[in-house]
Amino acid sequence: MKKTIKHLSMIAIMMTLMITVNGQAQSAGNDDCIKDIQKFRNDRNQWMKTSPNTPFESGDLADFTSLFYFKIDCSFRFEGTLEVNSNPQEENVKTSDGKTIKLINYGNIVCNISGVDYNFIVYKNIDMPEFAEFSETYFIPIKDATSGPPPLTVFALGRYLIVDLPASGNSVILDFNMAINPFENYNSSFTSLVTPSGNIIFAPLAVGERKYEDRTR
């Protein structure tokens, strides 16, 4: 009986240690996640203020302090699988003004969100104004349940999520905290991409950038 009690005590101690270590690992992972997202947002705010390619008019820049974001939530980071097209081709992608813009259809990212499997189209930038200084940008246009119906909390036409390609392998992280608005949300002289149907997410993603006009409410 004493051996059994001792054995159970050792199991309890080991389980406590495992829970503590796992908790510390998760906490450290969240700290890194938060730092990465905060840096991304700080850099983006600075770029908006100083870049010659900013979408803001000079009068708007005088009052600019920051873009408008949801609270950081590291549970909105998902692992996906990148499937690169064997021969990526240019494609005419529809825009909000009824025209098209040329992008390279680079491939797809397969990702499960809230129990639903998605097959997101990944584009490589050619000459989108949002990525004027970053010509090698890879991104996915997204639209989710926060885009409608009213009340809308994000830009109605959707957002863009930049994709960091893996140095090796095909595993990628999609961090929706880093979803950004098209320039059209800041300046109506720009247009937005029409989100491909396969990139429309049924769940609400209340993370990333919010509608800029809501910042004063």
The pLDDT of residue 42 is above 50: yes
| Dist CA 131 CA 44 (whole Å) | 12
Which tokens sit at 47? Answer: 């770029």
Closest C-alpha to 125, from 135, 140, 116 = 135
Q: Is 147 in a helix, a strand, or coil?
A: helix
Q: Which of 71-80, 95-104, 131-140, 157-166 has the lowest mean pLDDT?
A: 131-140
Residue 24 pLDDT: 41
Let me know: does 111 contact 79? Beta carbons within 8 Å.
yes
Residue 142 has pLDDT above 80, yes or no: yes
Average pLDDT of every residue of the chain: 87
Of 77-81, 134-138, 157-161, 189-193, least confident by mean pLDDT is 134-138
Separation CA 82–CA 101 (nearest Å): 24
Boundaries of every domain in the chain: 58-216
| Percent above pLDDT 90 for the chain | 75
Q: How many helices (H) and strands (E) does the chain have?
A: 2, 6
- Give the whole-angstrom CA distance, residue 103 versus residue 100: 9
Which residue type sits at 135?
Answer: S
In the predicted model, what is the mean pLDDT of residues 205-209?
95
Q: pLDDT tier at 135 (50, 70, 90 boundaries)?
A: confident
Neighbours of 64 (CB within 10 A): 14
Mean pLDDT along residues 175-193: 97
Backbone angles phi, psi at 122, to 5 degrees: -105, 125
pLDDT over 90 at 1, yes or no: no
